Structure formats: C-alpha cells, structure tokens
Amino acid sequence: MTVGGFIVENFFEMFEFLLSYVSNTMSFLRVGGFVLSHAGMMLVVMTLMDGMSAVGKPVVLVIGNLFVMAMEGMIVAIQIIRLEFYEMFSRFYDSGGKPFEPIDLSFSTQIEQ
C-alpha cells in the first residue's frame, strides 16, 4: 500500500467514525423531543381542565391522561419498530440466503367419482 493510499483510507475511516458519533448524538436528541411533546400534550390537558367546572375537571383529567398515554404508546411503538428494523437489521443483515418463493397451491373444483 502506498503512503497516499494509507492516508486517504485512514482519513475516510476517521470521517466515518466521527460521522457515526454525530449521527448517534442526533438520534438520541429525539428523546428530548419526546419530553417536550409530553410536556406540551399535558399542558393542553391541564389548560382544558382549568376551563372546566368542578365536576368536569376530573373527567377531563382522566380522559386527557388516557389520550396522552395512548399517543405516547404509539410514539414508543414507532420508535421500537424503527430501531429494530432499521438500526439493528441494517447492521447485522447479510444477504447470503436464498430468495423467497411463495407456496403455489392449486385446487380443482371438479369432484371425481
């Protein structure tokens, strides 16, 4: 290997290494976004609750919390699917298998006697 080839190869390896640090940091910043979205949704629920009468406050609080929990459950499910299928499979997938061939079934509508 030449000196120039060595320098270029190591430069790109270092660039890829630093790029992975930046992309992983950006990936974890989404957790902060989840905190802000939770705070925003609960602020809306509390604002709606403040505008209700004494009888309606507990109802709005319970229904609002259930709605926020359902939304956050969806967000978590989407993130789990993204991490599993994109991040994990893209790192460990090796296309050395055989292609998928669906089963071919044929049925006869005639009755044999």
**Would you give per-residue pLDDT tens digits along the chain (113 residues)?**
788 888 999 999 999 989 888 887 887 788 788 888 889 999 999 999 999 999 999 999 999 999 999 999 998 888 888 877 777 776 776 777 788 888 887 777 787 76
d(CA 13, CA 18): 9
16 occurs within a structural domain: no
What's the domain count of the chain? 1
d(CA 82, CA 56): 39
Q: State pTM to two decimals.
A: 0.57
Distances (CA, A) of 79 to 7, 42, 52, 85, 113: 39, 21, 35, 10, 58
Distances (CA, A) of 60 to 40, 44, 52, 72: 16, 11, 8, 18
20 occurs within a structural domain: no
3 occurs within a structural domain: no
